Amino acid sequence: MAAKIEILGLKTYYYAGPHVIKAVDGVNLAINAGECLGIAGESGCGKSTLALSVLKLVMPPGRIVDGKILFNGETDIVSLPSDELRKIRWCKIAMIFQGALNALNPVYTIERQIVEAITTHMECSKGEARKRAAELIELVGLSRSNLRNYPHELSGGMKQRALIAMALSCNPEVLIADEPTTALDVVTQAQILILLKSLQRQRNLTLIVISHDLSILAQICDTIAVMYAGRIVEKADIRNIFYKPAHPYTYALINAFPSVKGPKKPLIALSGEPPNMINLPEGCRFHPRCPKVLDICSKKEPELVEVSRGHYVACHLYK
């Protein structure tokens, strides 16, 4: 069976005057139906741009310059005209954007916003839409009275739930969540994660979660792809990523999240800064910071190779 979403050779660049920022620079990724894929990386690695590209939502001065994004093995999102694209957006693939707590319209009630999402994308009467909105609001753990609230009357956690309800309003097959728990308290964060996971199971959703926080991804993902400077440096199922990380960057990222339970492990700092996307280093983009750097690393960019079943790494340490 074809993958739900297959990204082939995707390149999304931003053009800022004389500079070109290669935010996504040759990404290949396959996500299967019902899978929960996590995309991990720090700021500037291209993960948000990757997510926006899937729904062709990259705004100028950015644009997709190369590659294909296949949905259900047949439709190439990149080459779809806008009226066709509309049928996919929200109805097939929906998204919860980063900084979503400010994404709600402050002058409309929650009900109105969910109803608007439904009637814009689906053939649906207003009455039907309101009924659906009520079902959705309860599905995400809010009460029907919250439908009458304005966004400012809700807490961060409640707004996030409302946004999840909106994203699910047209029964999409795929949900992309970009940093869904940033700015939320630890307890609320846990509740949102548990909610996302249960929704995924209930509705057999394909879930793509983007986060810089590996601990969050450990909670709900089946597979994780680690991004650095516009490329995927490692991809594996969740156990392999955490217990047998191959790429030195993955290893550093895992160790950047101290554990609160169990023995106190020393935190090992990675030297240097995240890369300058305008002036990328020669060879492997990670080599200036790599504790295991070899001579070849500064000359040649490593290819993504399969080191064990389903476990891919782009690193000269592996052949």
Partner 1 sequence: MSVLVEVVNLKKYFPIRGGFRLLKGRLRYVPAVDGVSFKINEGERVSLIGESGSGKTTLGRLLLRLIEPTSGKIFFEGEEITSLKGEDLKEFRRKTQIVFQDPYSAFDPRQTVRKVLEEPLIIHNLYNREERLEIIAKLLKSVGLTPPELYLSKYTVELSGGQRQRVAIARALILNPRFLVLDEPVSLLDATTRVQILGLINEIKDKFNLTYFFITHDIALARYVSDRMLIMYRGKIMETGPTERILEKPFHPYTEVLMSAIPVPDPEMKLSLPAKVGSADIAMVSIQGCVFYPRCQYAIEQCKIKEPPLEEVEDGRLVACWRIK
Contacts of 102 (CB under 8 A, 6+ apart): none
CB-based contacts of 108: which residues, under 8 Å, 6+ apart?
Answer: 116, 150
User: How many CB atoms are closer than 10 A to CB 100?
Assistant: 23
Q: Is the distance from CB of 234 to CB of 57 less than 8 angstroms?
A: no
**Candidate segments 22-30, 189-197, 201-209, 305-313, binder of partner 1 by CB under 8 A:** 189-197
**Contact string 249-268 vs partner 1 (x = CB under 8 A):** ---xxxxxxxxxx--x--xx
DSSP class of residue 144? G
User: Of the candidates 315, 310, 230, which has an alpha carbon nearest to the alpha carbon of residue 278?
Assistant: 230
Other beta carbons within 10 Å of 232? 26
Task: Determine if 149 is a binding residue for partner 1 (CB under 8 A).
Answer: no
How many angstroms separate the CA atoms of 85 and 53, rounded?
12
Q: Is 216 in the site for partner 1 (CB under 8 A)?
A: yes
Question: Which of the stretches 11-19, 80-88, 122-130, 152-160 binds partner 1 when contact is defined by CB under 8 A?
Answer: 152-160
Q: Under the criterion CB under 8 A, does residue 210 sit at the interface with partner 1?
A: no
Of 51-59, 81-89, 116-124, 190-198, which part binds partner 1 (CB under 8 A)? 190-198
Helix, strand, coil share of the chain (percent; to 5): 35, 25, 40
Quick check: 2 binds partner 1 (CB under 8 A)? Answer: no
Select the residue interacting with partner 1 from 1, 59, 107, 186 (CB under 8 A). Answer: 186
Q: Which of 65, 190, 280, 304 binds partner 1 (CB under 8 A)?
A: 190
Instruction: Examine residue 109 and tell whether it contacts partner 1 (CB under 8 A).
Output: no
Residues 2, 16, 194, 278: which binds partner 1 (CB under 8 A)?
Answer: 194
Chain residues in the site for partner 1 (CB under 8 A):
42-43, 155, 157-158, 185-191, 193-194, 212-216, 218-219, 238-239, 242, 252-261, 264, 267-271, 273-274
